Structures are given as structure tokens and as C-alpha cells.
Amino acid sequence: MTLNNLLHELKPTPSSYLSTARTIEAQDFAQLRPLNVAILSTCNLEPLRPYLMVECAAWGLLVKPYFAPFNQLEQQVLEADSKLYESRPEVVVVATRIEDMAPNLTSRFITMSPSDIDRELRQIEERLRGLAEGVRRISTATILIFNYLSPRFLAAGLADPSLPLSQTSVIQHANEILGDICRTVTDAYVFDYARIVQEFGAQLWYDPKLWYLARIPLGAKAQIETAQHMARYLHAVDSNPCKCLVVDADNSIWGGVVGEEGLTGIELSEDYPGNVYKDFQRTLLSLRDRGVLLALASKNNEQDVLDVLQHHTDCVLGTEDFAALQIHWGDKASSLAAIAEELNIGTDALAFFDDNPVEREWVRSQMPEVTVIDVPENPMQFARALVESGAFDHLNLTSEDRSRIEMYQKEKERRQLYSESPSIENFLRQLEMVATVGHVSGESLPRIAQLLAKTNQFNLTTRRHTSSEIQSMIDAGAVALWLRVTDRFGDNGLVAVAIAVPEDSNGWRVDTFLMSCRVFGRQVESILLGMLSRVIKDRGGEAIVGEYIPTDKNDIASEFYSSHGFYLAEDRVDLQRWIKSNSGIELPDFIVVRSEDESGTTG
């Protein structure tokens, strides 16, 4: 059979390519010009061999590529007597993945500072330049270097474009560095792998008929895809992301049942099938980097699970990565309730991931407010199901989000201290709290509005004023104060807000009073009320009227005014009014109070 006939009969299937490649290799068609190609890579590209042979034959080239054992780059390039040079290459292809060159840039991106990122980029540059120059020193072969793809899942999810330094732009930067290297090393060129992947997708995307007939820039499948992704954004706009992901252990974050198979019997490793679970743990860790709290709810003997978290060499997640652990034989709905309580968040802020459909159904039936994620049977699809569930979609990632996780961890330490301290007052004293109070101004307005929007529990009136509404209130004479608190474990951030408006000649109405539950039970609220009372007094306010609007969630604040000496003046189902003459409020003496001018903090 002639080469032309052979290629003419080629079908786009693996078996057709394989048998065609075999024929080309066996026949050594005289019209093909041999070209020695060597391929170095950080992953397994050898399956490309038959396809490359066939496609090269169509261009008149006889290519029988040499594939170096994967992940042998420097070993092959820097030794003049290596297999690479033994193959007398005329072209050397270098294919590295960003995941292999700089794993942190893909999986731990959120935790990296700009200087960390810079360091990683410089290391990639050094390594690629070393490889290109290494080949050039020993051989005259043309060098083709693969550029980099964005990772499969962006560390910040939908919020990536909003990051000051987005992950996508960092990968792009790595590709520009590669371009620089290729410009300075003779006969070195970029193999634009990223573009090929994009074009392959674009081929499925466009339907020329729709464009020319009706100016529709996307085909039917692309319309579905676009709608699905846009719906995810709209969902993110419309609802609050979950704050905590509760995961199961057995067959969720590792394969098998640890109670039966034991520490060494479970599937968790660098090889199939353990690598599927290990990768899923990396996905969980990157969610945690984003500020999502992780909690574990597992029906097991506690020690069995702790052994894995603490001692299994391939266990990515450690006990310190979990904000709460519920490992016992009790039912999962109770575990979820306990986790919410421990973390001081509502159960509606929980998402639940469990491979067992019975557990999912149980939680769904007991706690309809929990986001129960539909877990596919195949663990290779766990990460995608989790990411695409939208449970943690944020269009924006604030530094507050990122530090939240640390704050909760410190909260855990605080609780330990609490259980060690004999009296509550002693405990509070040991915290060495410093509260700073300031007037709300332009700079702090967005954060204030955010707190108003998301605080549900210790929120006396649950009024969701926007930034501009708050500004108008201030312009009309209202007093708006913020409070932030630090303690020996660190900065809790801006945690409380009060807004009071002058009502008649000498009374002031507290329109808004709220506090993050992170600091509940530490009498921080008394500081803010006391400071509010002083500011009002300075402005001639002789009485304070506190309002309480009961909701499903704010019962925790129902005794706030009574415990501060207010009397109930009006008691409707939908509104209570509490009154107190403005004779001062006693401030707890274990919290040091500063005004913003003293500390230089503006919130």
C-alpha cells in the first residue's frame, strides 16, 4: 500500500492511528525524511507516539520520537552522554506542567504573598533557562518548550479576576517569562500549548452557521455551558456562600473504611486509586485557603480517624486544618448542629459532603437549611462536584475572608483557655483584650455595610442599611460607631457596629446595634454601648431608646438591653422599645478601651 493510500484511509480513532503508525514504522517509506525528535516531560506523554508518527508522515517526515523517562529533565539535558544526546536529536521538546514546576502556584495560591509568587516565578525561570541553555551547550537541536495552562480549578474560584494579582495572570506571567527565555536562547521556541487547548475548546464553541445566519457567537452546547456558568454567578450574587464545609471521612477523603482496613489499608497515596483521594484533599485545602472552614463529621472510633490525620504520610489534611471535629457514632445531623454551635455560625451556613446517600438524605430531612452537596459515585468527580456546587462561590475575596480562618483557629485556642480557667472573669482578664472604637467614615463604610448585611444572630434590629444609607444617616446627625478588638491571640478585626439617631429634644434611638458572634460572651458589646452612651451624652442626649426586633436568629441578643439596666417601654410582637436615662454605662474593667485617634486605626 502506498503512503498516500494509507493516510487516506486513516480514521480519527485510536485503533486506526495505531495500526497506521505501525505500518509507517515497519515500511520505512522512502519519500519520508527522517527527523530525530526527543521529548522530555514532567508527565507521561508517551501515548502521543503513534499519533505523532502518523501526523508527521502526513507532512513528509519520518519521526520516531525518543521519550525520556518522565521527570528526567536535568539528568538528560546536562549530561553530554545521556540517552537524550545518544538519540542525536534535531529537535528537543520540553514539556513541563506548572503543577509539577511550582505546585504551590496551583494548589496553595491563596496562601502566597506577592513575594512568594515572585520567588516561584523566578525558580521556574531559572529551571527553564537552565534546560534551554543546557541543550544549547551540547547540541544544535531546535528547542520547543510547552507553555503553561491555567490550573483546572482556580484557587479563588469565581473571585480570581477580582484578586489584586489573579492566578490566571500569574500563569500568563510565567508564559511571558518563557517567551523571554526563548528570545534569548538561539533556536528555542515556545510551543503554544495553552493556545491549542483553547482552540480545541473554541472549535466546540462556535457554530459558524449561527453566526452568519443570526450573529449568534456560540453554538447550542456553548449556550448551555454559558448559561450554567452565568447561573452560578447569579446564584453567587443572590445568596450567601456557606461558611463551613463538613466532610465525611471514610470513602470521602480517603478510600475504604479506616475502622476495618486500618491506617495502612485505606486508599490514600500518590498512585491510583489513592491519588484520587489525595487530590481531593488538596481541593479541600484550597477551599480552606479561601476562608472556608473545614469540619469533619465521621462515624468512627475517634482515635482511628485522628491516627490518619496525624500519622498517615499521604494525608494532606491534618487535625489543625479542621476547625471542628465530630468523630463518634452519633447521627450526622447532631454532629452538624454541634459543629455550628462550636463555630458560632448558623446551621444554614453549613455545606455537607458525604459519599453515603443515606447520610445525605438524613441530613436533608433533619436540617433542610444545610446545603447538602450531590456527591457523584465516582471519586474522580468529587472535586468538580464540590467546586461546581456553588456552595462557596464568592465574586470577591476580601482579606477578611482569608483571615477569618485564622481567627476561628485562635478562637479554638481561646476556648481551650476557657476550659482551663476557673472563672469566666479570670478567663476574660487573661485574654488581655483591647477594644478600639471609632466613628464610621468613608473608609470604613464598605466593611460596616458588609457587617450589617451578614450579621444575623447578635443583631438587635437586623436592618440592612447600605453604605449610602448609612452615610445619609450620618449626614443627618446620626452617631455611627465601629469597634474592633484585639487580644493576646491576635486581631479579631472590626466586629461591632452601633448607629443611633436623635429622636426628639433629648432622646436618642439606637437604630442599629450588632456584633459578630466571634466575640460573643466577652462583654465587648458593653464597651460599644458604653462608648455610644458617652458620645450621645456629649451631644446632649439625656435618654437612650434601644430597639429589639425579634427574628428567628437573634434570640441571643434578646436580653441585651435588660442586662444593661434598660426598662421595657413598649412590647409589640414585632418590636420592643427599651429605655434608659443616659446616666452612663459601666464598662468592664478587663478590656482596655481606646478611641481611634489614640491608636491611629481607622477601621
Binding residues for another protein (CB under 8 A): 13-16, 18-19, 22, 46-47, 50, 272-273, 378, 380
Give just the sign of the alpha carbon dihedral 234, 443, 162, 284.
negative
What are the grid coordinates assigned to 231, written together? 447561573
Closest C-alpha to 525, from 515, 512, 534? 515
| 470 CB-contact burial (10 Å; exposed 0-12 / middle 13-18 / buried 19+) | buried
Nearest distance from C-beta of residue 272 to another protein, angstroms:
6
| 519 CB-contact burial (10 Å; exposed 0-12 / middle 13-18 / buried 19+) | buried
Closest C-alpha to 135, from 77, 178, 182? 77
Bridge partners of 508, per DSSP, are 502, 544
Nearest distance from C-beta of residue 109 to another protein, angstroms:
28
Which one, 39 or 171, has the nearer CB to another protein?
39
Taking residue 262's Cβ as centre, other Cβ atoms within 10 Å add up to: 13
Which one, 47 or 490, has the nearer CB to another protein?
47
| 437 CB-contact burial (10 Å; exposed 0-12 / middle 13-18 / buried 19+) | buried
Nearest distance from C-beta of residue 267 to another protein, angstroms:
12
| 34 Cβ contact list (under 8 Å, min separation 6) | 61, 62, 63, 64
Nearest distance from C-beta of residue 12 to another protein, angstroms:
8
CB 46 within 8 A of CB 98: no
Which one, 11 or 572, has the nearer CB to another protein?
11
Q: Give how far the C-alpha of residue 466 lies from the chain's centroid of Cα atoms, to the nearest Å.
A: 27
Return d(Cα 66, Cα 55) in angstroms, integer. 16
Residue 351 φ then ψ, to 5°: -115, 150
Which one, 25 or 388, has the nearer CB to another protein?
25
Which one, 63 or 478, has the nearer CB to another protein?
63
Closest C-alpha to 75, from 141, 134, 126, 142? 134
Which one, 13 or 423, has the nearer CB to another protein?
13
Which one, 273 or 521, has the nearer CB to another protein?
273
Which one, 44 or 184, has the nearer CB to another protein?
44
Which one, 273 or 550, has the nearer CB to another protein?
273
Return d(Cα 359, Cα 249) in angstroms, integer. 12
Closest C-alpha to 391, from 349, 362, 358, 359? 349
